[in-house]
Structure 1
Amino acid sequence: MILQIANLDGSLALRIPAKLADQIGLKEGSQVQVSFTVDGGITIRAAKWDRNAFAHELATIRDAMPMTVAVTEELRRGARY
């Protein structure tokens, strides 16, 4: 299948026929995962939300954050009653 690339507000957009989009469950606003192949090709797949991968990413970010004094505790120490 040959698809057409269009100019959309200064960016390039891939135009996917409605029939094909319906078959794979894409609609406006859907997210896709793009991969580049060694031979210069592009693979586009409908992105599925992976709950486990998301939880792992959050845990990694949380572990990388330094533990500091809670903001409320800092405010209470500096407050004048």
Structure 2
Amino acid sequence: DTTRTMYRVEAVERLEEKLVVFFYEGSGFLYHMARLITGTLLRVGRGELHPGDVRAALEGKNPAAVGSTAPACGLCLEKVIYDL
């Protein structure tokens, strides 16, 4: 199954540090999923991609058009929660 539910996607700009910090919460993550989401959001932020293109990709219309994998450097897993 390749369907995952995202509960939270948030971008926080830290101007003094020249950083954008992304927070993701979801039911699970596929291989490179966080990096693909980050790369796509960065392209939208730079004006290289229209938000409507992202919506179309999520609806299954040309998903390859938005794919841009962010580099792994800087990626940090903060917390994992398991229901027992």
Smaller-chain TM-score bracket:
under 0.3
Flag the structure with higher strand content: 1
Please give the TM-score of this superposition, normalised by the length of structure 1: 0.22
Q: Which has the larger radius of gyration?
A: 1
Query: Relative contact order (alpha carbons < 8 A, sep ≥ 6): 1 or 2 greater?
Result: 2
